[in-house]
Structure 1
């Protein structure tokens, strides 16, 4: 019979799993305490590895932060791509993609709290997220309206991404901030936020004469 591992022995995991564990711990710590107030020692302790292991995987504390953001960016693209692929009409495509955006931010709230909280350190990474989503949306719009010039498609995509981002930031605010009366709250659902965007954006797209975006 195979012998049992000694009590207290460290479980062997794959490199990819170890990296996921480190990223999960880093996101939690950076979100809880702030990037500037979190140390590599604390991350290593939470994961159960030595600090040199962190440097072997990510090079530096900033490299660890950027890896957290890179993972969040990839997961966001996967979520929105899968949602759009299931759509049956142009309107459904935009609605599903927008809803997936808000749902994903809710499901991975610490990742996105970290991204916006550390925008000064990760300004370039945040802009890469915006560029990724802009390119994605412009590509979807191009498939529905192939005769529209690229500048116009990119402009539409910029508007959609900007609106989604501001809605996401607004949803994350505490109630009664920004001069809102106490009875009003920014805690709207992802479904409500999607409807707010569709009411503004889809009205314009669907109303284009001769366009490929037929009214619902």
Structure 2
């Protein structure tokens, strides 16, 4: 039984886990294998072995390798969008909202670097179903920022979406660069630098009702 299996054994047999717990266990094992080997080199045999289960058990939950990979992506894609949405709801202070969006991406790459690589650095990005999910992350984060920009500044949706896409793109690219370059500066300092840059730009758009041009 490998560490990924996470189940006790009774009389030489693995304990039967509830379906939801088994699924979570299999996804964790799959993530380890996909990150270590890449999608194309990974095999269902490797994932089953890492999870400490038989291949038939793995296939009971996921009909194939692609479905397993997509299930992983869905989990992580939903998480990053939820983080950005939460940052928008957490405070009425717009500078702190910008900081929250930046922090959401840096937290993702820092605490969930394996998940970040699966979503944004996959060797399967040309697969339509994978590309659709990555685009869904970007669209979900952009939508969260767009609604906030519209409500606060009164700019039209097309302008707000473009501004939001710039904020999301900068946060994603900077966080990925920070991770790829070995976290050369402390995370909090990196977040503050990027927040200062982005806030200087977005703050030039006055709040609704603000007479400042």
Q: Which TM class, normalised by the smaller chain length?
A: 0.7 to 0.9
> Is the partner of 2:170 in helix, strand or coil?
helix
2:117 pairs with 1:117: no
More relative contact order, 1 or 2 (CA 8 Å, 6+ apart): 2
Q: TM-score, normalised by structure 2?
A: 0.83
Match of 1:197 in 2: 194
SS at match of 1:114: helix
> Which range moved further: 206-215 or 39-48?
206-215
Say whether 1:152 aligns with 2:159.
Answer: yes
1:141 aligns with 2:149: yes
Answer whether contact 1:83 1:96 (CA < 8 A) is retained.
Answer: yes
Is 1:42 matched up with 2:46?
yes
Deviation at 1:49, TM superposition (A): 2.0
Measured in 1, the distance between the counterparts of 2:185 and 2:122 equals: 21
Provide, for residues 163-187 of structure 1, a one-character-per-residue CA deviation record: whole Å limited to 9, x for no partner. Answer: 1121122112246xxxxxxxxxx62
C-alpha deviations, 1:97-133, integer Å up to 9, x for none?
2212211221111111122132334322222211121
Per the normalisation by structure 1, the TM-score is: 0.82
**What SS does the aligned partner of 2:14 have?**
coil
Structure 2 counterpart of 1:168, from 175, 186, 201: 175
Gaps spanning 5+ residues in structure 1: where?
176-185
Across the two proteins, how many residue pairs are aligned to each other? 200
1:16 lines up with 2:20 in the alignment: yes
